[in-house]
Structure 1
């Protein structure tokens, strides 16, 4: 049963040949994921987060619709990470807030959504245009994929010799 649960939660185990880093070295490695080329920020968690580190990504999708009330979608995605040094495991839980704003500029919230657990979401905007070869090609104008944030975090943890375990709720400390 644990195998299916681990697969659904996105749990990954390190290669047995990897020498595990200490909790502080892992923390520093995760904070080093920050940079000008990544769309998210990894930082020290607040007490209310019940975690050690938090990665956050906020994005506005391009407006769609026409007329006097185009729609804007605002997304906030957060991964809370808690270290369990005794078993060299990082427990992670995702949270996502989505708000659709109407009007130009967005004045009122038309809808709100909240997700918690292990979130995988992809949002894409674009069109198909005929290329010089006469064939249709996809032209992407916007892409939001939660895996673009989770994959580097998970790869850093597993590469450091720790287990990445997706959880549905954070238990008490």
Structure 2
């Protein structure tokens, strides 16, 4: 792995892993967001990509979790397939969000970042233990790697390269 690959978050599959057909990879990536995960993977359509993964910020079932956890960034991962090179070109975009209104909802601000990023949100409860000492217990943990890592691992297990894009187009 070269320096530029490290900076962009590019990862290559293990030697000897044969690339699966594009449609099989697409189906596997769409399946990553099944179940109780805080993001959705969907067709890119008008977003300029083949697939798009994004936080479920606006879905009622997830919105209260994002608001309560004090999440301050929204993340989208745009993916475009390059069949000839067997790589998924990936553009990560992040926006700052703020809590507004009553009831509280998340609103995107004007701050925008592009490239590999990481957002971590944790909530701790502080109290006293039986011995009277202060204790801190983590009651909530949320990490943007929860979205990126399963997508990247699916691509790599499928024999394709995960190629981070920072400059230029997907």
TM-score scaled by length of structure 1 = 0.79
Partner of 1:62: 68
Note the C-alpha offset of 1:157: 0.0
RMSD: 2.7
Matched, 1:145 2:143: yes
- 2:21 maps to 22
Report how many aligned residue pairs link the two structures: 162
Aligned ranges for residues 2-151 of structure 1 at < 5 Å? 3-47=2-46, 49-59=47-57, 60-62=66-68, 75-106=73-104, 112-132=110-130, 136-151=134-149
Unaligned runs of 5+ in 1: 64-71
Unaligned residue ranges in structure 2 (runs of 5+): 58-65
Q: Deviations over 1:129-151 (max 9, x none)?
A: 34446665432333331111000
CA radius of gyration, larger in: 1
Work out the CA distance in 2 between the residues paired with 1:159 and 1:122: 26
CA distance in 2 between counterparts of 1:36 and 1:107 reads: 24
1:158 matched to which residue of 2? 156
Kindly indicate whether the alpha-carbon contact (under 8 Å) linking 2:97 and 2:106 is maintained by their aligned counterparts in 1. no
Residue 104 of structure 1 and its aligned partner are, at CA, apart by 3.7
Give the distance between the partners of 1:35 and 1:133, measured in 2 at CA: 44
Q: Which residue of 2 aligns with 1:68?
A: none
Q: SS where residue 143 of structure 1 aligns?
A: strand
Q: 1:73 to 1:26 in 2, by over 3 A?
A: closer
Instruction: Please give the alpha-carbon distance, in whole angstroms, between the structure 1 residues aligned to 2:15 and 2:75.
Output: 32
Q: 1:133 to 1:162 in 2, by over 3 A?
A: farther
TM-score (norm. length: structure 2): 0.80
1:81/1:93 contact within 8 Å kept: yes
